[in-house]
Amino acid sequence: MMNELAGGALIGIAAALLWLGIGRIGGISGVIANIFLINQGHRNWSLYFFAGLLASYPLYVLLAGTPEMQITANKAILVAAGLLVGMGTYIGNGCTSGHGVCGNGRLSLRSMVATCTFMAFGVLAVFIMNLLNL
């Protein structure tokens, strides 16, 4: 439980720093959408955000060793799920970070609805996947 609390605190501090520092919501889906607009110049922060996210992995490995990461889904499921996550976060304008952390932290009703919806459908998906032994 301590790891989860500490990790969550780091995520909260990161979102706070981005908001208080440059007035941006730390939503990964927004950053991904922005990467496709990068030629418009004013979205540069998203590029730094993207690069830094990748850099955090080797930094963690250096400090704490290789983290546990286990994927059980097969290739077809991976592609289908990736498409769903890509489309869903674009259409719903957010994911676990933008709606889940920042939106709920702002007490945005919109983000609360989004969070309850993706949590409920996530639970449903896992239930069905387990029924089908996938």
Partner 1 sequence: MNQNVMKMITPLAAVIIFGLGLLVSGMNNPAKIRGFLDVFGDWQPALMAVMVAAIAIFALAYALSNKMKQPWFHSIFHRPSLTVIDKRLVIGSALFGIGWGMVGLCPGPALLNVMTGQWDVVLFVAALLIGNRIAHYTVGPAK
User: What is the footprint of partner 1 within residues 23-52 (CB under 8 A)?
Assistant: 23-26, 28-29, 32-33, 36, 44-46, 48-52
Total length of the chain: 134
Q: Which tokens in the block code for residue 104?
A: 């709920």
Give the footprint of partner 1 on residues 97-116 (CB under 8 A). 97, 99-110, 113-115
Is residue 18 within 8 A of residue 27, CB to CB? The reply is: no
- 62 touches partner 1 by CB under 8 A: no
Give the footprint of partner 1 on residues 113-132 (CB under 8 A). 113-115, 117-127, 129-130
Neighbours of 111 (CB within 10 A): 22
CA 122/CA 118 separation, integer angstroms: 6
Q: How far is the CB of 128 from partner 1 (least distance, A)?
A: 8
- 69 touches partner 1 by CB under 8 A: yes
